[in-house]
Amino acid sequence: MKKLAREVCIIGVGMHKFGKFLDKSLKDLTRVAVWNAIHDAGIDAKQIEAAYFSNVLAGLITGQESIRGQVFLRDAGFEGLPIVNVEGACASGAIALREAMITVGAGVYDMVLAVGAEKLYLDDTARSIAAMAANTDVEFMAGLGFQFTGSYAMTLRKYMQQYGWTQEHFARVASKNKYNGSLNPYAQYQKPMSVEEILSSRVIAWPLTLYMCATMGDGAAAAIVCSQEMARKIGGKLPVTIATCCLRSGEVTGEDDGQRGIAREAYDTAGLGPPDIEVAEVHDAMAPGEMFRIEKLGFCRAEEMGQLIDQGYFSLTGKLPVNTSGGLAARGHPIGATGLAQIAELVWQLRGEAGARQVKGRNSLYPRVGLAQNSGGYVEGSPAALTVTILKRDVA
Amino acid sequence: MTDLPLREGLFHIPESPGDKPYLIGSRCRVCGYACFPGKSVCVRCRRDDTMAEIKLGPYATLETFTVMRVGPHDFPPPYVIGYVRMKEGAPVFTLITDCEPKDDALKLGQEMELVIGKIREDSRGNNVIGWKFKPAERQVT
């Protein structure tokens, strides 16, 4: 990716709590997240000039296809705007952010909304589960018994064999994230859970047990993206700069499935490296997946992983706190909202607004650089969409 | 009840006892990239004039597997899935058959053998015919 024509930052973020909300519609979820972001930014909502709307399964689950963003954002009070619908399975939220960044970075608009919303809980659970199959190549994978839990399980089994990772390590990671989620008022699951409870829950696809896995969820998350000049003029909360936001489809002929390549691209374009990252949100639809994301992002070698987990390296008080929000399995994973929920968490951490789960910075009171890794879907042995975003704040 | 292939042109169904099953994939004559299902464009070279059809199988190496303890309605658990790599180089996602649904039933790296047969029933009760792999019966020399 080339450098943008001008610097772009995030001036406000907002969420609707993740969870099970049978009495709420996608309109409700979207509206709450959008207006929380607007109030957080302290702007007049009329300043928003365009919107990117991320949602994955409303079409299949409810039949609301074609104009999802236009429908849900009209209810949130928006008319007369360019509204673009984006999707890329579980990475959709980050794709919405990236499109907003590019539009502002190119100078087309000064202020753009990125919002992701998803509602997976319905009266008819079977329909929601069946719809998840759309995140793969339906012609082959779905008809052959493919499931995302199985995909994570098979990847983890390879790491176990090669690098000595154990099911106990996996439970430790899941337990850490459940604890983080217990401190996050927006999380779907706010109950800490011991390593023993996680290990003794029923096996879903060995080595994964029930409490290591994300469930269905409802929720929404939003970010207000604007140019740096505009942010200065507004003079609200400390703006957080988007140092980079990279996107690519998965790979089948390269060194791996594309994750190492996109990590390098992100570090190169941001002018930063793994040692600069002080807090990270990574895509862990099954909590132990955090471990291979961390490894692919270059934070440590696969051989060191078990030891670092045992030392609490990735916990809230560790050297590199990961998934401070609770990650996908604890914060929840309403798929179209997940990417922007990661961004909201990083913005709160960088501003020192993360409450009981606030982490410290290495060189200042709060972290200055955070990374979000989001990925979605599955095509022929690699993720369909991969994203890496790096956010940084100026010295306050 | 009728036998219906998952899709035409994906594999060869043995017609006599000596006839071996195989998958129909493709390989790039420039870079060697091999894939299943076959493609007419090479993903590595991004060229549409280098791919040729090849037969894959029946032998492959097990790269990883797991036993699914939950499943969609047409796949009653437990069932075993895995990734194999064909001797010709193409990776294949597959159901695994002739194997106990135990978490330690197989060893990564072991030799597997292609089976063409029923993988599930469709909503009308037809047998959907596709590829599966079983632990290889031949002795590896």
Whether B97 maps to a domain, the answer reads: yes
**A24's tokens:** 């709420």
Strands B3-5 and B127-135: parallel
Best mutation target among A136, A206, A379 (most B Cβ atoms within 10 Å) is A206
- Same-domain status, A230 and A253: no
User: What is the chain B residue with the closest CA to A146?
Assistant: B81
Listed in order, strand segments (DSSP E) in chain A are: 8-19, 50-54, 83-86, 111-119, 203-205, 208-209, 218-227, 240-249, 279-281, 369-379, 382-393
> Nearest Cβ partner of A381 from B68, B70, B91?
B91
**Residue-wise over B48-77: b if at least 16 C-beta within 10 A, else e?**
eebbeebebbbbbebbbbbbbbbbbeebee
Judged by CB atoms closer than 8 Å, whether chains meet at A153 and B66 is answered as yes
Cβ within 8 Å, pair B64-A154? yes
A209 occurs within a structural domain:
yes
User: For residue A16, what are the domain limits?
Assistant: 8-125+217-240
User: What pLDDT score was predicted for residue B140?
Assistant: 58
Nearest partner of A224 among A240, A244, A247, A245, judged by Cα: A240
**Per the structure block, which two tokens stand in for A246?**
């990279």
Quick check: is A80 in a domain?
Answer: yes
Active-site residue identified among A9, A90, A213, A300: A90
- pLDDT tens-digit readout, A267-288: 999 999 999 999 999 999 999 9
Dist. CA B60–CA A255, nearest whole Å? 21
Inside any domain, residue A228: yes
Q: What confidence score (pLDDT) does residue A133 get? A: 84
DSSP secondary structure, A227-250, as one string: EHHHHHHH--SPPEEEEEEEEEE-
Query: Is residue A138 scored above 90 in pLDDT?
Result: no
Asked whether residue A165 falls in the same domain as residue A94, the answer is: no
Q: Tally the domains of chain A.
A: 2
Handedness of CA B129, B131, B132, B133 (dihedral sign): positive
Note whether A76 and A157 are same-domain residues: no
- Domain membership of residue B63 as a residue range: 3-135
Q: What is the ipTM of this complex?
A: 0.96
- Residue B141 in any domain: the answer is no
| A137 in any annotated domain | no
Q: What whole-number distance in Å separates Cα of residue A328 and Cα of residue A256?
A: 23
Q: Does a structural domain hold residue B55?
A: yes
Q: Quick one: closest CA in B to A141, which residue?
A: B93
The model's confidence at residue B138, banded by pLDDT at 50, 70 and 90, is confident
Q: Which of A202, A206, A252 sits opposite B67 (nearest CB)?
A: A206
CATH number for A66: 3.40.47.10
Cα–Cα distance measured from residue A30 to residue A35, given in angstroms and rounded to the nearest whole number: 9
Number of structural domains chain B divides into: 1
d(CA B124, CA B3): 11
Per the domain annotation, does B140 fall within a domain?
A: no
Q: Is B47 helix (H, G, I), strand (E, B) or coil?
A: strand
Confidence of residue A172 (pLDDT cuts 50, 70, 90): very high
Q: What percent of chain A has pLDDT over 70?
A: 100
Asked if residue A360 is part of any domain, the answer here is yes
Average confidence score pLDDT of chain A: 96
The question of whether A283 is a catalytic residue gets the answer no
A138 in a domain, yes or no? no
Domain-located, residue A130 = no
Q: Is residue A132 part of a domain?
A: no
d(Cα A164, Cα B138) in Å, to the nearest integer?
Answer: 31
A contact test, residue of B7, B70, B131 with most A CBs within 10 A: B70
Decide if B14 is inside a domain: yes
Same domain, A204 and A261: yes
Q: Does B83 touch chain A (CB under 8 A)?
A: yes
A202 lies in the same domain as A119: no
pLDDT band of A396, cuts 50, 70, 90 = low
How do residues B37-92 score in pLDDT, each as one tens digit? 999 999 999 999 999 999 999 999 999 999 999 988 889 999 999 999 999 999 99
Closest CA in chain A for residue B121: A143
